[in-house]
Amino acid sequence: MLKEKIPYYAEKYGIDFIIANGENVTHGKGLIKSHYFELLEAGVDAITLGNHYWSKSEITRYIDQADRLVRPLNLIKPFPGEGSVVFELDKISIRVTNLLGSAFMEEEVNSPYYSLITLLDEAEPTNIHIVDFHAEATGEKQALAYALDGKVSAVLGTHTHVQTSDAKILPNGTAFISDVGMTGYANGILGSDSDTVVNRIVYGKKSTFVTPDEGRGIFSAVVLDIDDATGYAKQIFPIYFQEEN
Ligand SMILES: [Fe+2]
């Protein structure tokens, strides 16, 4: 879906820079090195992660050389890689930060808000700053976005895999959506085969979630238009494409 849809939408909307959350790319959990490069070859410029940042252990062996990969900033345990990375695009600096939520998530994390405020205090300012807030609760995502309104260009929620219809620009210029949604297998549950999920979640059976290799696809994204002079968002709108049955 990425390989097909990125060129189409990039041309349609004149996209300059593409960020993908890649934490579920390798069979639903984690990101191996070859898939990291596959995303870049598909046209992705920066890749963020989430609670599955370490689900494929080989990431610890390549993340320090992967200059387009952004792992969660607010991890408590030491982990290689960077939680916030600056990219240069035609003399415009774009900071991409990945944050993990604290509500209903299993990982122990530092406060997402104070981690980001500390970063803003210490880091070099950039023209644009986009935050991927990987979190479960819509309330936590909205609260963080309003707390950061005017301090970053966008707070984009990920993790629930279901695109929300609340994309908007907040009063002080920060673009926001509770969840961008997912790209992958459309007929199942959050990208996995439905039987494998129902067996565990509903019937309590031992079951490994399976991400099908084939099937109807879905592509979810948001398009941002950001004023690089002010860093504020001018527009945000969602893309939600499903293949026909
Ligand atoms: Fe996640």
Nearest to residue 226, comparing CAs of 173, 172, 147, 158? 173
What strands, in cross-sheet order, belong to the sheet with 46-48? 19-21, 46-48, 69-70
pLDDT above 70 covers what percent of the chain? Answer: 100
Catalytic residue numbers, as ranges: 52
The pLDDT of residue 106 is above 90:
no
Alpha-carbon distance of 60 to 82, in angstroms, equals: 12
Residue 245: per-residue pLDDT: 78
2-189+218-242 folds as: Purple Acid Phosphatase; chain A, domain 2 (3.60.21)
Q: Mean pLDDT throughout 167-176?
A: 98
Compute the C-alpha angle 64/66/71, nearest 5°.
Answer: 75
Residue 213: per-residue pLDDT: 86
pLDDT above 90 covers what percent of the chain? Answer: 97
Q: How far is the CA of 129 from the centre of ligand 1 (A)?
A: 21
The two three-digit tokens of residue 51, written as one number: 């609670």
Write out pLDDT tens, residues 187-243: 999 999 999 999 999 999 999 999 998 999 999 999 999 999 999 999 999 999 999
The pLDDT of residue 24 is above 90:
yes
The pLDDT of residue 177 is above 90:
yes
Helix H or strand E encompassing 115: helix 112-122
Q: How far is the CA of 28 from the centre of ligand 1 (A)?
A: 10
Write out pLDDT tens, residues 86-100: 999 999 999 999 999
The pLDDT of residue 150 is above 90:
yes
Q: How far is the CA of 103 from the centre of ligand 1 (A)?
A: 13
Q: How far is the CA of 160 from the centre of ligand 1 (A)?
A: 7
**What's the whole-number average pLDDT of the chain?**
97
Q: How far is the CA of 227 from the centre of ligand 1 (A)?
A: 30
Collect residues with CB below 5 Å from ion ligand 1: 50-51, 159
Q: How far is the CA of 77 from the centre of ligand 1 (A)?
A: 18
Q: How far is the CA of 191 from the centre of ligand 1 (A)?
A: 12
Q: The whole model's pTM is what?
A: 0.97
